[in-house]
Structure 1
Amino acid sequence: MRLALAADVAAVRELVRAAFLVYVPRIGREPAPMGVDYAAVVGEGRCWVDVGDDGRIVGMIQCAVADGFLEVETVAVAPEAHGRGVGSRLLAFAEERARELGLPEVRLCTNEAMTENIAYYPRRGFREVGRTTQHGYRRVFFAKGIVGPDG
């Protein structure tokens, strides 16, 4: 896992597009992560990438410090890397980042139509904390408390 560089922007954009394209028919439009300005996100130091053995980016996570928690704004895994632990590594990274920053919680949301994610996050220790519609997207919110280094 490493901080994304300006040279990674095109690959991050392509990865997010590939990861979220399957949801377009379900939602009826592009999911929000497909419209993000990743050049700005990378430039702000809010994007990390998981690089595979072959040097290709197989996962990305976009995080921001919010009011008392770490917000995972986007997490994406290359379709060809599904089932290889990339998503778990990305979420573990977010948890470690929150711990390093002294934040007690990681939060994220997914679209209601992304049923795989709604099943996935609880298996990783996240609990559903709410549902609402924002910007025309039906969102499901999750949170996970972070245990400090002392247990």
Structure 2
Amino acid sequence: MWMSGAMSETMPPMLRPAVPEDVAAITDLVVTAFAQYTPLIGKPPAPALYDYAEIVARGRVTVAVRGAAVLGVVFIYPEEDGAMMLDVLAVSETARGQGLARRLIEAAEAQAGDEGAALMRVYTNEVMAGPQALYPKLGYHETHRGESDGYQRIHYEKAL
């Protein structure tokens, strides 16, 4: 069935594992989404510096897509103690306010649970107000604050 552009724009983005062909779009999305924080931090946020080709190759990246457009991304990895770390969450400006961050986090939590993790951790920079509001709404509680890798971070966790 043919679908008009207007109708396809109203469909919710589909979540799927990232593939190598997504790397350029993921990199652009993350760099753009985090650029607003560079002046506040004094340097680019860590996710803007990652090698997404290497990360996607690990098979731990989920993207939200509508057609060919990557609208959101989440990256998780296991920690040595069996917990899972939610390391990158980014949503495009055009897709914000539609619950996409929540969907990506829920997908990451489901993947973590499927892999046997009982705990999800995440941290954000102290200048990023959006994540500081979002994570507690989704059941995460702050565990500590401190400097790591030259960034002032707030750490959260949630039992899965």
Bin the TM-score by the shorter chain: over 0.9
Structure possessing the higher radius of gyration over alpha carbons: 2
Secondary structure of 1:90's counterpart equals: helix
TM-score relative to the length of structure 2: 0.87
2:116 paired with 1:113: no
Identity, in percent, stands at 37
> Does residue 27 of the first structure (1) align with residue 55 of the second (2)?
no
Q: How many residues align?
A: 145
Bigger shift: residues 32-41 or 61-70 = 61-70
Q: Distance in 2 between matches of 1:30 and 1:48?
A: 23
Distance (Å, rounded) in 1 between the aligned partners of 2:92 and 2:74? 12
The Cα of 1:55 is off from its aligned counterpart by 3.0
1:75 aligns with 2:89: yes
C-alpha distance in 1, partners of 2:84/2:64? 19
Structure 1: 4+ residue segments shifted above 3 A: none
Does residue 88 (structure 1) correspond to residue 111 (structure 2)? The answer is no
Cα drift, residue 125 of structure 1? 0.9
Q: Which residue of structure 1 lines up, in the alignment, with residue 27 of structure 2?
A: 13
> What amino acid is aligned across from residue 81 of structure 1 in structure 2?
A
Contact 1:64–1:71 (CA under 8 A) maintained in structure 2:
yes
**Any gaps of 5 or more consecutive residues in structure 2?**
1-14
Look up the equivalent residue of 2:70 and give its one-letter code: I
Q: CA deviation at 1:79?
A: 1.2
| Per-residue deviation, 1:108 | 0.6
- String of CA shifts for 1:57-98, please: whole Å, max 9, x gaps: 110011101121111111111111110111000110111112
C-alpha contact 1:70 1:94 (8 A) present in aligned 2: no
For residue 22 of structure 1, what is the amino acid of its counterpart?
Answer: Q
SS of aligned partner of 1:102: coil
- Give SS of 2:44's match: coil
**Per-residue CA shift, 1:109-143, capped at 9, x if unaligned?**
00001022111110111100111101110010010
Give yes or no for the alignment of 1:136 onto 2:150: yes
RMSD: 0.9
